[in-house]
Amino acid sequence: MKIKKIYYRIYYHHNDLAFIYIQNIKIILKFWNICQKHNLNMKILLFGDFSGLHKNLQEALQELGYETLLVSSGDGYKKLKSDISLDYDASNILGHIKGRLKPFLYLPFFTGYDVVQLISPYYLKYKLFPANLYYSFLKQFNKKFFVAAAGSDPYFWRYGRYRMRYGPFEDHLKYDLKKKKSRFENPNDFIFNEKIVSFSNGIISDNVEYDLSYEGHPNLKGSIPLPVNMSKIRYQENIPIGKLKIFHGLTRYGYKGTRHVEKAFKILSKKYPEQLDLRIDGKLPQEEYLKILKESNVVIDQTNSYGLGFNAVYALAMGKVVLGGAEPEDLKFLGVSKTPVINILPDHNSIVNAIENLLENKKNIQKIGYESRLFAEKVYGHVNVAKQYLSVWNNN
């Protein structure tokens, strides 16, 4: 009986995989028909997605007239949309088998592109199989292959960790991983990382921390801000009514430095119970997260970062006052001399002081919110950012 049950599970699992494959092949064929119809000069494959970076970039490229295929697994609980889904159920053995094999079902259709951009060497979780083989194939059977430095990797842990005055490393190990070492500190992982970025046509960093990590690497070809589709984010005047509403999104407790926010909120709630509405919430689908942002006046991003993540940029675009990374290194990376972002450190006193200052100057919040929107459009507008990507792709 056990053998029969296993057989039926594999049989139906295989049928399910075949159905998904057929549905996605239809999407691929539709994509190629559009390319041929419009006689486009450049075909682009964006492979993987973190926090919507490639989704926003795809939308910009499409606005500029480029047909772009996005392949992604949805980035976990964020449930990001893509043209082809590589998502799988990681809760059982069959799901893991599917996770290893599913990318190969589409591999013959991921050839002949002018540009392929991989979101990170660690997008496919199994580095020996399928990642190593798969990336080599993408490089060999497409004209250009770029790698985005858009997430934690061995370069970040080996070099970024010691090139920055502070970072998420120790808290991430203690509170999130509950380990003494990260997998990214493994020498074999560094060798794998180096192999992928070195055989690519170029590395493109998407924030200041990863830019510092790859600083000096001969294959670092571009440093480009996050692309965000501003037309999808509604700006509203930031006029505090009643209590000042302050929100911190909880995703990775240690990595984001949430303990400093908690300590600051504990102090502030006692001092200003009638003036502040303090909220920490997280691990929400992106749409629900954005709804909470809409109701807030002030958003606290990360305390362990030199620059901003996607959620902070969304908050800027909505007209919120953002507390987060705004170090001199980040301003240089972004190519600006000033920012409406209020810089905070991994220290609760830094957060307390910033919020007390806002309370004392509550009348300035509306103006800061307006400046936040203008800043987001200028620096992170997805079309302008896409043009920077096109320039790097064309010139390398």
Residue 374 has pLDDT above 60, yes or no: yes
- Residues 184 and 157: beta-carbon distance below 8 Å: yes
Whole-angstrom distance, CA of residue 283 vs CA of residue 268: 24
- Cis preceding linkage at 108, omega within 30: no
Q: Does 37 score more than 70 pLDDT?
A: no
Contact 209, 305 (CB under 8 A): yes
Most confident of 70-84, 87-101, 287-301: 287-301
pTM as predicted: 0.87
Burial of 250 (0-12, 13-18, 19+ CB in 10 A): middle
Judged against a pLDDT cut of 60, whether residue 38 lies above it is answered with: no
Q: Please give the helix or strand (H or E) that residue 372 lies within, else none.
A: helix 365-380
Is residue 131 within a helix (H) or strand (E), and if so which, with residue range?
none
Six-digit token pair at 211?
């830019």
Beta strand 298-300 with 321-324: parallel, antiparallel or unpaired?
A: parallel
Here the tokens at position 348 are 């609760």
Going by pLDDT thresholds of 50, 70 and 90, the confidence category of residue 12 is: very low
Which structural domains are found in the chain, ordered by start?
2-227+383-395 (3.40.50), 230-380 (3.40.50.2000)
Grouping H, G, I as helix, E, B as strand and the rest as coil, residue 367 is helix
Q: Which residue has the tokens 């908690």?
A: 262
**Residue 395 CB neighbour total at 10 angstroms:** 9
Residue 282 has pLDDT above 90, yes or no: no
Which tokens go with 253?
Answer: 């407790």
Q: Which two tokens stand for residue 121?
A: 């060497």
335 or 17: whose pLDDT is higher? Answer: 335
User: What pLDDT does residue 88 have?
Assistant: 73
Q: List C-alpha distances in Å: 259 to 168, 237, 321.
A: 12, 30, 21
The distance in angstroms from the start CA to the end CA of the chain is 59
3-state helix, strand, coil in the chain (%, to 5): 55, 15, 30
Which range, of 144-148, 205-209, 284-288, 369-373, averages the lowest pLDDT? 284-288
Residue 2 has pLDDT above 50, yes or no: no
* The pLDDT of residue 9 is above 50: no
Residue-level pLDDT at 92:
77
**Residue 159 pLDDT exceeds 50:** yes
The DSSP letter of residue 280 is E
Residue 147: both structure tokens together? 């790698």
% of the chain residues with pLDDT over 90: 71
